[in-house]
Amino acid sequence: MIGRAAAGLVGFALAVAACSGTDRPVLSDTTLATTISSTSTTSTSTTTTEAPFVQPAAPDGRLYPAVAADIGEAAQRLYSVEAMIHTIEPTDADFANLAHEQQMLYRKIGRAPSEIPVVLAGAPESLRPIIERHLAARRSIAALSSGSGEGPTNVPAWEIIPPLPAEELRTLYEAAAADTGIDWSFIAAINMLETGFGRIDGLSTAGAQGPMQFLPTTWEEVSDGDIDDPYDAIPAAALYLVRRGGPEDMHKALWGYNNSDAYVAAVTHYATLFREDDRSFLAAHAWEIHYSAAIADLWFPVGYRLEESQPAEDYIVDAPWSAPPPRL
């Protein structure tokens, strides 16, 4: 059986602990040490005024997307973001930032299941099927972590690396599909859920490894290549799915990959979305790695690297850009 990294459910599971159905507590301005207080003194009184919150930027200058606390406002922004994603070219400099914001909007709305019917009812007709599929996938991911409590208190020993370009990955998926009959979209959805299209490189060798998260013992069934190389791991994953029942019975095949109905549902929703809407695949490829820790929904940009797990509260002291702004 293939092992699943907590990551995949990070994010995409797209963060690990994929999000639960409730909002995580967010860090206060004081904890993040980013709200500056200034004091002015007159002859009669002392007044303390807090400056506006300023979100710290990651080392490459990017910001954690701010998302409205109100679901109605978040939904209106989602409609606009989806429309722009389906309008501008993926090569546009704004596309990746829009995709990251899209990701966070779905994570936010997905944690409010009672509001989803209203969100869908208000969506533009042309975008409603896409939004519905995304939110169904998010709810399946939430089910994967049900009963997991408030999330981990530590951040993981991972390295976040750039994924292969979307077009290069698509070529690998389609080559594996041609060889095995497994539709490329299922392979893509697994790759996304497991490691964010290869962004997550676990630094432990004790469990599942590589972009498709094989256990070494399972890897030996399907490949003698490099478990960490997507050029070997992607065709091996397709072959594994064949050995578990695909392409004739993809539910059985996906269950063999991860013994969870919720996992099967999440993969199937994303695979269908990618197959029906290529722009959704390209946007998902631009999503970032988010980790649902107890303290907050933490963002791990490319360059994150920890040799050993450490308390999340210690991590954000040195990486305040990883914590969400107060509105999220």
Question: Which pLDDT tens digit goes with each residue over 169-210?
Answer: 999 999 999 999 999 999 999 999 999 999 999 866 568 999
Which pLDDT belongs to residue 327? Answer: 72
Residue-wise pLDDT tens digits, 277-294: 999 999 999 999 999 999
Give the separation between CA 328 and CA 313, rounded to whole angstroms. Answer: 18
User: Torsions phi, psi of 18, nearest 5?
Assistant: -65, 165
Q: What angle do CA 130, 133, 138 make, to 5 degrees?
A: 125
Beta strands in 103-256 (DSSP E): 154-155, 158-160, 200-202
Query: Mean pLDDT throughout 89-95?
Result: 95
Give the range among 74-88, 139-153, 243-257, 298-312 with minimum mean pLDDT: 139-153
pLDDT band at 4 (very low <50, low <70, confident <90, very high): very low
Residue-wise pLDDT tens digits, 39-65: 233 334 445 566 677 889 999 999 999
Which pLDDT belongs to residue 106? Answer: 98
Which pLDDT belongs to residue 258? Answer: 94
Give the range among 44-48, 103-107, 228-232, 301-305 with minimum mean pLDDT: 44-48
Kindly tell me if the per-residue pLDDT of 318 is higher than 50: yes
Kindly tell me if the per-residue pLDDT of 28 is higher than 50: no
pLDDT band at 27 (very low <50, low <70, confident <90, very high): very low
Share of the chain above pLDDT 70, in %: 82
Among 43, 63, 44, 67, which residue's Cα sits nearest to residue 54?
A: 63
Give the separation between CA 138 and CA 60, rounded to whole angstroms. Answer: 29
Beta strands in the chain (DSSP E): 37-41, 46-50, 154-155, 158-160, 200-202, 289-292, 297-300, 310-311
Give the separation between CA 134 and CA 273, rounded to whole angstroms. Answer: 8
Between 35 and 241, residue with greater pLDDT: 241
Kindly tell me if the per-residue pLDDT of 32 is higher than 50: no
Which pLDDT belongs to residue 55? Answer: 85
Which pLDDT belongs to residue 144? Answer: 85
Burial class (CB in 10 A: 0-12, 13-18, 19+), 47: exposed
Which pLDDT belongs to residue 2? Answer: 52
Pairing outcome for strands 297-300 and 154-155: unpaired
Task: Please report, in angstroms and rounded to a whole number, the separation of the first and last CA atoms in the chain.
Answer: 37
Which pLDDT belongs to residue 49? Answer: 60
Kindly tell me if the per-residue pLDDT of 313 is higher than 70: yes
Which pLDDT belongs to residue 149? Answer: 63
Contact 216, 209 (CB under 8 A): yes
DSSP assignment of 58-73 equals PTTS--PPP--SSHHH
Q: Mean pLDDT for the chain?
A: 86
Distance of CA 108 to the CA centre of its chain: 12
Among 86, 151, 146, which residue's Cα sits nearest to residue 113?
A: 146
Query: Mean pLDDT throughout 118-122?
Result: 98
Helices (H) and strands (E) in the chain, counts: 13, 8
Kindly tell me if the per-residue pLDDT of 133 is higher than 50: yes
Give the separation between CA 136 and CA 139, rounded to whole angstroms. Answer: 5
